[in-house]
């Protein structure tokens, strides 16, 4: 029976350790703490004061026999009551289970502590007041309201990507805190989608974000021949679109980083271009002069674009609009062309007027050249044809010779021949 008992206890101990993923020695230490707690509870029920005393317990990993000792300096006094083993098991059952759960949770948290600052995928379990509970695999995590993207709606069983921000103490113990609004999640998403960032040939130098609206990312290349902006955008924008899709269609501007502050600030004001920057090194202020047609783009909706550019560069930015030179040139060119086209049109108009005046005189050929209307044609057809007047000479008709004269002449010619 003793061998069977040892086998049963050790088998149960190993089974608990495997199911919870804990070390067997950690399980034994947990059981020891539970035995001490059960002994104190039993002694308090007998009316003894044990709060200021220190106790320790031992547990045989083979037989499962438990002993309790009172510690007084260097002395260890065995104070195990008779039959305490069975009583301790019944009393400490819930304590043991609770301690094992706590130890299991600590082991899981220790694994996730190594993943702080990385991306995790989770499913939305429930809404716990203002917080959202997320199932991330071996344990649960929470998303506080300040770590959510504004106006983003969560649905039960929805799967999303989160940033494992930290593990901190709360009223309910240590909790894993996830985030979707932290700028670091954008960096990690780009590192996942862009191999050049993972390999180190492209580096994200700065980032400024207003979660849910717009993000600006400044990138640079550590390897010649590698376009940092093109690498992050990808062919036909496939890489940056993958990041945008994970962030609920948030707008992302990828700009090149520059060590020249003026050029960097001008790039940070993208999509506006053509900016001229003057720096005040003492107050760390930058005055930006930009054409009026680009002024609205530089400022952005409710000042969002210039605000993000200021966060990205670390400089206070003031923007002033200047008249657009291109617009003035276009206006002058249009005015000149209008003047040039107006002169020939005036000359043509005067020539047309003179021609109309000449055509208006009676007996002019222009009236004859005008096509006749159908009514005029009908009127002309109905008019009778006029007979020729007697004043005109009649054509002369040749006189035909009389037949007698002709015969006499022919006879005379015959007589002469004879």
The predicted pLDDT at position 89 comes to 61
49 and 95 inside one domain: yes
33: CATH = 3.30.1480.10
With H, G, I as helix, E, B as strand and everything else as coil, classify residue 123.
Answer: strand
The predicted pLDDT at position 117 comes to 93
86 and 141 inside one domain: no
153 and 207 inside one domain: no
The predicted pLDDT at position 2 comes to 37
243 and 284 inside one domain: no
**Contact yes or no for 81/128 (Cβ under 8 A):** no
Domain boundary, last residue among 162, 179, 196: 179
231 and 214 inside one domain: yes
253 and 272 inside one domain: no
Q: What are phi and psi of 290, to 5 degrees?
A: -145, 150
The predicted pLDDT at position 335 comes to 59
Q: What are phi and psi of 69, to 5 degrees?
A: -125, 140
174: CATH = 2.40.50.140
Give the whole-angstrom CA distance, residue 397 versus residue 405.
Answer: 19
With H, G, I as helix, E, B as strand and everything else as coil, classify residue 277.
Answer: strand
Structural domain span for residue 192: 183-257
Question: Does 401 reside within a domain?
Answer: no
Q: Whose CA is closest to 199, among 223, 164, 217?
A: 223
Question: Does 377 reside within a domain?
Answer: no
202: CATH = 3.30.300.20
The number of distinct structural domains making up the chain is 4
313 and 278 inside one domain: yes
281 and 245 inside one domain: no
Signed CA dihedral, 119, 190, 149, 152: sign only: negative
Question: Does 347 reside within a domain?
Answer: no
234 and 328 inside one domain: no
**Contact yes or no for 256/268 (Cβ under 8 A):** no
pTM for this predicted structure:
0.62
Q: For the chain, which residues score pLDDT lower than 50?
A: 1-6, 326-327, 330-331, 353-395, 397-418
98 and 9 inside one domain: yes
Domain boundary, last residue among 335, 363, 379: 335
Tens of pLDDT, residues 156-172: 999 999 999 999 888 87
The predicted pLDDT at position 163 comes to 95
Give the whole-angstrom CA distance, residue 366 versus residue 345.
Answer: 24
The predicted pLDDT at position 208 comes to 95
253 and 268 inside one domain: no
The predicted pLDDT at position 344 comes to 52
26: Cα within 13 Å, side-chain hemisphere: 16
88 and 167 inside one domain: no
Question: Does 361 reside within a domain?
Answer: no
Domain boundary, last residue among 137, 164, 179: 179
């Amino acid at each position: 029976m003793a061998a069977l008992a040892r086998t049963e206890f050790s088998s149960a101990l190993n089974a608990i350790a495997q199911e919870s993923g804990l070390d067997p020695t950690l399980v034994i230490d947990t059981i020891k703490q539970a035995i001490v707690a059960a002994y104190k509870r039993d002694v308090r029920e007998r009316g003894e004061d044990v709060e200021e005393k220190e106790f320790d317990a031992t547990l045989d990993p083979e037989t499962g026999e438990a002993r309790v000792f009172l510690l007084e300096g260097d002395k260890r006094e065995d104070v195990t009551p008779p039959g305490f083993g069975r009583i301790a098991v019944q009393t400490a059952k819930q304590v043991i289970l609770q301690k094992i759960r706590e130890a299991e949770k600590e082991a899981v948290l220790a694994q996730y502590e190594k993943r702080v600052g990385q991306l995790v995928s989770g499913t939305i379990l429930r809404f716990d007041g203002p917080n959202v509970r997320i199932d991330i695999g071996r344990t649960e995590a929470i998303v506080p309201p300040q770590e959510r993207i504004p106006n983003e709606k969560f649905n039960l069983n929805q799967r999303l990507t989160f940033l494992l921000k930290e593990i901190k103490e709360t009223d309910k113990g240590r909790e894993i805190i996830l985030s979707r609004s932290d700028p670091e999640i954008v960096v990690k998403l780009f590192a996942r989608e862009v191999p050049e960032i993972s390999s180190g040939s492209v580096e994200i130098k700065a980032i400024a974000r207003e979660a849910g609206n717009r993000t600006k990312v400044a990138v640079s290349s550590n390897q010649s021949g590698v376009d940092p902006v093109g690498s992050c955008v990808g062919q036909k924008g496939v890489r940056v679109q993958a990041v945008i899709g994970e962030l609920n269609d948030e707008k992302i501007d990828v700009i090149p980083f520059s060590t020249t502050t003026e050029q960097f600030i001008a790039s940070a004001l993208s999509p506006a271009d053509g900016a001229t920057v003057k720096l005040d090194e003492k107050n760390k202020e930058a005055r930006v002069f930009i054409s009026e047609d680009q002024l609205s783009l530089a400022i952005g909706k409710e000042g969002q674009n210039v605000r993000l550019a200021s966060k990205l560069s670390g400089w206070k930015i003031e923007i002033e609009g200047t008249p657009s030179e291109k617009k003035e040139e276009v206006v002058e060119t249009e005015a000149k062309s209008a003047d040039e086209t107006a002169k020939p049109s005036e000359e043509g108009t005067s020539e047309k007027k003179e021609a109309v005046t000449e055509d208006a005189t009676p007996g002019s050929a222009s009236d004859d050249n005008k096509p006749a209307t159908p009514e005029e044609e009908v009127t002309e057809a109905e008019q009778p044809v006029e007979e020729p007047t007697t004043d005109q000479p009649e054509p002369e008709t040749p006189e035909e010779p009389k037949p007698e004269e002709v015969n006499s002449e022919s006879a005379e010619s015959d007589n002469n021949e004879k």
